[in-house]
Amino acid sequence: MLDPQARALLDLMIERGVPPTHTLQPAEARKLYRERRSFTQPPALTMAEVRDLSADGPGGPIGLRLYRPSSAAAVAPGLVYYHGGGWVIGDLDTHDVLCRELAHRSGCVVVAVDYRLGPENPFPAAVDDCLAATRWVQAQAMALGIDASRIALGGDSAGGNLATVTALGLRDSGGFQPRFQLLIYPGTDMRALAPSHTSNGQGYMLTSDSIAYYRGHYIPNERDWSDWRASPLLHRDLSKLPPALVLTAGFDPLRDEGWQYADALSKAGVPTQCICFERQIHGFITMGRVIDEANTAVGLCAMALQRALAAG
């Protein structure tokens, strides 16, 4: 059964004539995404510090936003967070509330990454930015009040994809190793072959049409769909990665590829937990104003971060 609160939200969107993302130009889709967040997201929590930063990137400066909760130690664990939005929409503002909640509940310093978006900057621009930004955070950890040995990577949807791709890139380049991966309904296989793409492909917020729209803007060349930087599930070696929590939603087209990635990590010897919110839709974790289970999911993620990043 679909969660009644999720059902009510979907019905309201139909009633109000909210246009599907795939019918909009990217600029329009970004504007609508920013505007509607105030309806579904909880009030923004007050932080001890919120600061905009900039890191050097391959395509120019990369915007970052640091969140320090009042509960954070002088040198605290850190979470580098990559927002969702299909690599086409979303920004620091659309995920500001979620980053504040994760910081407040976990005691981590969260640094959100404003990576480049398609179609203006197609694949692998977002990957390159996330790698550069993450390396910058680790290098500047002391100045940021972050323990460089206790850094996690996390993200939702496209951001979950970027989190695990960044972890793979760091491992393969011999860079520093993050302590943990927080993967919230991640996209892991751009070929979209998993059964849930069919069973959940229409009617539950994220649709097959929207997935094709995002993929077409971010990865216009079909030959790149099998590149592990787009489809981490297809990487030949998933061993020696940080422990992971993979969170999925039961009425999400990406549900099965999240499960598949969790299973692949486990088979490769990576300590992995996979939890499915069976009655939820894609994108629900940012919707705590209208979906109660979103707040439960945020608390679960924060608890996992606390445990994974504990001192010692």
The one-character DSSP state at 289 is T
- pLDDT at 128 > cutoff 90: yes
- pLDDT at 260 > cutoff 90: yes
- Do residues 251 and 6 make contact, with C-beta atoms less than 8 angstroms apart? yes
Active site residue 157: yes
Using CA atoms, how far apart are residues 253 and 81, in angstroms rounded to an integer?
A: 22
- The total of other beta-carbon atoms located within 10 Å of residue 121's CB is 16
Phi, psi of 174 (to 5 degrees): 75, 20
Catalytic one among 95, 217, 235, 282? 282
Percent of the chain with pLDDT over 90: 98
Give pTM, 2 decimals: 0.98
Q: What mean pLDDT, rounded, does the chain reach? A: 97
Q: Residue 65 in 3-state DSSP? A: strand
**What pLDDT score was predicted for residue 287?**
98
- pLDDT at 137 > cutoff 80: yes
- The total of other beta-carbon atoms located within 10 Å of residue 310's CB is 10
Residue 280's region, left for phi above 0, alpha for psi from -120 to 50, else beta, is beta
Catalytic one among 95, 147, 157, 231? 157
Per-residue pLDDT, averaged over 283-307, amounts to 98
Cis peptide before 124 (omega within 30 of 0): yes
Per-residue pLDDT, averaged over 169-190, amounts to 97
- pLDDT at 97 > cutoff 80: yes
- Do residues 218 and 291 make contact, with C-beta atoms less than 8 angstroms apart? no
**What pLDDT score was predicted for residue 186?**
98
Band of residue 246 on the pLDDT scale cut at 50, 70, 90: very high
- Do residues 72 and 48 make contact, with C-beta atoms less than 8 angstroms apart? yes
What's the token pair of residue 60? 């120019």
Band of residue 15 on the pLDDT scale cut at 50, 70, 90: very high
Per-residue pLDDT, averaged over 194-221, amounts to 98
What's the token pair of residue 33? 């995404």
Kindly list the domain boundaries of the chain, sorted by start residue.
Answer: 4-308
Per-residue pLDDT, averaged over 173-196, amounts to 97
Q: Residue 182 in 3-state DSSP? A: strand
Catalytic one among 129, 156, 252, 256? 252
Active site residue 282: yes
Per-residue pLDDT, averaged over 303-307, amounts to 98
**What pLDDT score was predicted for residue 311?**
82
**What pLDDT score was predicted for residue 83?**
98
**What pLDDT score was predicted for residue 304?**
98
Band of residue 175 on the pLDDT scale cut at 50, 70, 90: confident
What's the token pair of residue 253? 């087209």
Band of residue 179 on the pLDDT scale cut at 50, 70, 90: very high
- pLDDT at 312 > cutoff 80: no
Look up the CATH superfamily of 4-308: Alpha/Beta hydrolase fold, catalytic domain (3.40.50.1820)
- pLDDT digit string (tens) for 210-241? 999 999 999 999 999 999 999 999 999 999 99
